[in-house]
Amino acid sequence: MNNSLSEIYQALFLHYGDLQWWPAKTPYEVMVGAILTQNTAWTNVEKAIGQFEDDLTPERIHHLPLEKLQDLIRPSGFYKQKSQYLKVLTEWFMSYDCDVKRIQNLPLSDVRKELLGVHGVGNETADSILLYAFHFPTFVVDAYTMRLFKRYPLDAGKTYVQVKKFIESRIPADVLVYNRFHALIVQNGKEHCKKKALCEGCPLEGSCKKCFD
DNA sequence: CGCCAGGGCCATA
DNA sequence: TATGGCCATGGC
């Protein structure tokens, strides 16, 4: 990965160190968190997941009445939609007997297409589940990533898939590296690349265009 | 009080 | 392909 994209990775890695995601106990908890965190602060997701008191399983969600499920996840916001999303995503998982290894034996592109067919699972949620729950080498693009490449002098493309392909074509497919890079982009984004650019002290200061959204 | 967070769906052009 | 409205809570 000898290109200017790797310079971003190197700069962030030197500054922040070896960050890792995803804070979850089981693959299924990753899936749930991926839904609950949609346009939502992670602190709110933690409150919602905490409501389950260490009993967060596909079987429980499957049998829980919709209203009860909504009560539990309310702190994460958008609870009416997300309760539906959790239901259908859980159905999908159960259609594989909740067998992660069985899913991992399928082609990445196939699983990705299936996830995108689940109502409530878009590009980022699908990639988050693929990478963090199933450990497929797929890169997760998010709002911070899009923002970074709008401001950085690299033509990574305009759409989600374009930016994703741009990165994946320049950085070898590696679960650990993709995990770390995404975590670094988000950490940096929280400090320096929100809607308002806060470039002071940013490890990319000087090479970034500093343009605004 | 307003802004915004680790999006996605849907209608519209 | 690309906007815009909508969904909802909690931290700051």
Altogether, the residues listed in chain A come to a count of: 213
Q: Is the model's pLDDT at A22 over the cut of 60?
A: yes
The residues close to strand C, meaning Cβ under 7 A, are A 39-41, 43-44, 47, 74-82, 158-159
Round and report the angstrom distance from CA (A76) to C1' (B7). Answer: 13
The residues close to strand B, meaning Cβ under 7 A, are A 21-23, 33-34, 37-42, 44, 77-78, 81, 119-126, 128, 132, 142-144, 186, 190, 194-196
User: Is there a single domain that holds both residue A36 and residue A88?
Assistant: yes
Would you state the pLDDT for residue A181? Answer: 96
Nearest nucleotide relative to A78: CA against C1': C8
Round and report the angstrom distance from CA (A192) to C1' (B3). Answer: 16
> How crowded is residue A59: how many other Cβ atoms within 10 Å of its Cβ?
12
The count of C-alpha atoms lying within 13 angstroms of the C-alpha of A134, restricted to the half-sphere facing its C-beta, is 29
Q: Is the model's pLDDT at A97 over the cut of 60?
A: yes
Tell me how far CA of residue A71 lies from CA of A60, A141, A157, in angstroms: 14, 30, 40
Residue A163 contacts residue A146 (beta carbons within 8 Å): yes
Tokens of A188: 């940096």
Q: Which of A133, A156, A186 is the last residue of a domain?
A: A133
User: Is there a single domain that holds both residue A15 and residue A40?
Assistant: no
Q: Is the model's pLDDT at A95 over the cut of 90?
A: yes
- Count of domains observed in chain A: 2
CATH of residue A156's domain is: 1.10.1670
Nearest nucleotide relative to A47: CA against C1': C10
CATH of residue A78's domain is: 1.10.340.30
Band of residue A2 on the pLDDT scale cut at 50, 70, 90: very low
DSSP string, A114-175: HHHTSTT--HHHHHHIIIIIT--------HHHHHHHHHSS----SSHHHHHHHHHTTS---H
Q: Which of A79, A113, A133 is the last residue of a domain?
A: A133
